[in-house]
Amino acid sequence: MLTLILFSVILILIVTYIFIQFKQYDYFKSRNISGPTPSFFWGNLNTLWHVKSYSRQLAEWTKKYGRIYGLFEGTTPLFIVSDVEFLQEVFIKQFSNFSNRKMTVFTKLANGKRAHLFGAEGSQWRRQRHVINPTFSALKLKQMSSLINDCINELMKKLPNYSETREEFNIYALYKRMTMDVICRCGFGVDTDMQNNEDNIYLKKCGQVFASDVRKLPLMKLGTLIPSLGVIFGNLLLLQNIVARNLSKIFPSSILNFQETPGFWLRHRVQDIIQMRSDSAKQRVDLMNLMLEAASRENIEDKPDNDTNTIDRDQSVPKKLTYEEVISNVMLFMLAGYETTSTALAYATFVLANHSDVQQKLQNEIDQHFQDSGAEETIRNPDYDLVQNMPFMEIFVKEVLRMYPIASTVINRRCMHNTDVCGIKVTEGAVVQPDLYTIHYDPELWGPEDPNIFYPERHLTKRHPLAWMPFGNGPRNCVVKGDQLESKFNINEAAVIAPEEVWIHLEKRY
């Protein structure tokens, strides 16, 4: 009898679960929004996990289903949008309803003590952004110019060898090493020399972090499919790493090769460095120091979310970070800056190699500035102000990132409170994901010149505020501001759309 009751309860639970799942798949139909057919349990993930490019697939579906269509990650509904008015509502006007990103296993894991700016939510995010925003001010970046220039000069020493032999070489690899040196010096406080030491362990570990697509880890996939169990999968991932780390200490040369993931390895190194820096009296101007100045050993109580749309003007937010948060953010800057910036530089080089007219214009502007400034020191060490005064450089960079929006997949917003956007009901938990390729190549937004052509001057015409968003948009955009574009390239996520290699050959001008 008891067996029969138990069996009936389990059966009812399974049937209810299946019924709720099926019902969820009516989400877009009930709103008259079309989209590719989801399959039971997976939603559209089975397709998305197997396509070569997530962003290109979204653009393909936009051609078929229109400017707003629906997808499912497991049972989570995703609005895929290339309608800029809708996006303006979500990213700017209704920011308080859409202040967080899509939930991932890492977001769940990072919630609480360990959260960094990218993953933090609500009032914790607001406090962190309040502290970190000034760290990326023009003044602070200016103070870091010499650290950055040293790394660029190291790269410049290498390039003449290639122009003399006129051999083709993969410049992307050199950019990666240079970018990592910059990040380690500015963010990490370690004077690495990866450009001359290819075996550097930090370079290897960072390379490994990007080589493996974390979204495809089995525990990450499970967390995406069943978000309600995300905390459990996240903690299993953490446990797996703690066990591997301790086993590798006990059996350092075991044939079983116990290893924590590269991300966890990096986190522990950052922890050691922060400890050293906090104990040392020596000061240096870098991102780590700027954050350590705001670090507190005390517990920080965040007030309940007050739905403020502004960050800088809100004086009630405490200007403090915990040590755990400093560690997480140093790690974040390292990962957020490395792949994005080196890839952007690689695309910029690709464009210059293919457009001699653009190359010439940029060269003229640079030559002109150096002639005007005259001083030998400025020529060797161009600073932030000099680079800010180059209008063609600015539109060139903007056009590179319009055609190659490298971090488009990380731009999304999760609905926090049921609301209405442009007449469509969006419920708590649903995600809005812009289809950036369609937006950036939309002739209505970017014409009359063909958006498929590299034409920097198109940025001289005023466009829709949401037509260009390689750094996202609204209060939760990239922490390095738009007016610091060029320094972004100097300063420096598997979400980055990157080429494998960029082979070029150099010729001496004189």
**Which of 332, 506 has the CB closer to ligand HEM?**
332
**Under the criterion CB under 6 A, does residue 175 sit at the interface with ligand HEM?**
no
**Under the criterion CB under 6 A, does residue 79 sit at the interface with ligand HEM?**
no
Dmax (CA) for the chain in angstroms is 95
C-alpha to C-alpha distance for 124 and 141, rounded to whole angstroms: 25
Ranges within 257-316 binding ligand HEM (CB under 6 A): none
Using the rule CB under 6 A, which residue among 400, 492, 502, 506 binds ligand HEM? 492
469 within 8 A of 411, measured Cβ to Cβ: yes
Contacts of 277 (CB under 8 A, 6+ apart): 189, 288, 289, 292
Closest CA to 174 of 187, 160, 188: 160
Size of interface with ligand HEM, in residues (CB under 6 A): 26
- Residues of 239-259 as b/e, b for ≥16 C-beta within 10 angstroms? eebeebbebbeeeeeeeeeee
Ranges within 452-471 binding ligand HEM (CB under 6 A): 470-471
**Under the criterion CB under 6 A, does residue 479 sit at the interface with ligand HEM?**
yes
- 29: left (phi > 0), else alpha (psi -120 to 50), else beta? alpha
**Under the criterion CB under 6 A, does residue 406 sit at the interface with ligand HEM?**
yes
Contacts of 104 (CB under 8 A, 6+ apart): 215, 220, 223, 224, 230
**Under the criterion CB under 6 A, does residue 488 sit at the interface with ligand HEM?**
yes
**Under the criterion CB under 6 A, does residue 478 sit at the interface with ligand HEM?**
yes
**Which of 58, 244 has the CB closer to ligand HEM?**
58
**Which of 38, 470 has the CB closer to ligand HEM?**
470
C-alpha to C-alpha distance for 401 and 500, rounded to whole angstroms: 18
Q: Which stretch binds ligand HEM (CB under 6 A): 150-158, 250-258, 337-345, 359-367?
A: 337-345
**Under the criterion CB under 6 A, does residue 129 sit at the interface with ligand HEM?**
yes
Q: Report in angstroms how near the CB of residue 473 gets to ligand HEM at its nearest.
A: 6
Closest CA to 28 of 431, 347, 403: 431
**Under the criterion CB under 6 A, does residue 332 sit at the interface with ligand HEM?**
yes
**Under the criterion CB under 6 A, does residue 184 sit at the interface with ligand HEM?**
no
Six token digits for residue 40:
């039971």
**Under the criterion CB under 6 A, does residue 403 sit at the interface with ligand HEM?**
no
**Under the criterion CB under 6 A, does residue 103 sit at the interface with ligand HEM?**
no
Q: Report in angstroms how near the CB of residue 204 gets to ligand HEM at its nearest.
A: 20
Where do the H-state alpha helices sit in 280-355?
Answer: 287-293, 323-354
Is 184 marked as binding a ligand?
A: no
Q: Report in angstroms how near the CB of residue 161 gets to ligand HEM at its nearest.
A: 27
**Under the criterion CB under 6 A, does residue 145 sit at the interface with ligand HEM?**
no
Q: In what order do the strands lie in the sheet with 76-81?
A: 68-73, 76-81, 431-434, 413-414
Contacts of 366 (CB under 8 A, 6+ apart): 390, 393
**Which of 248, 349 has the CB closer to ligand HEM?**
349
- For residue 322, the SS3 value is strand
Binding site for heme, by residue number, is 478
Which residues of this protein are in contact with ligand HEM, per CB under 6 A? 117-118, 129, 332-333, 336-337, 340-341, 344, 406-407, 410-411, 470-473, 476-480, 488, 491-492
Binding site, by residue number, is 478
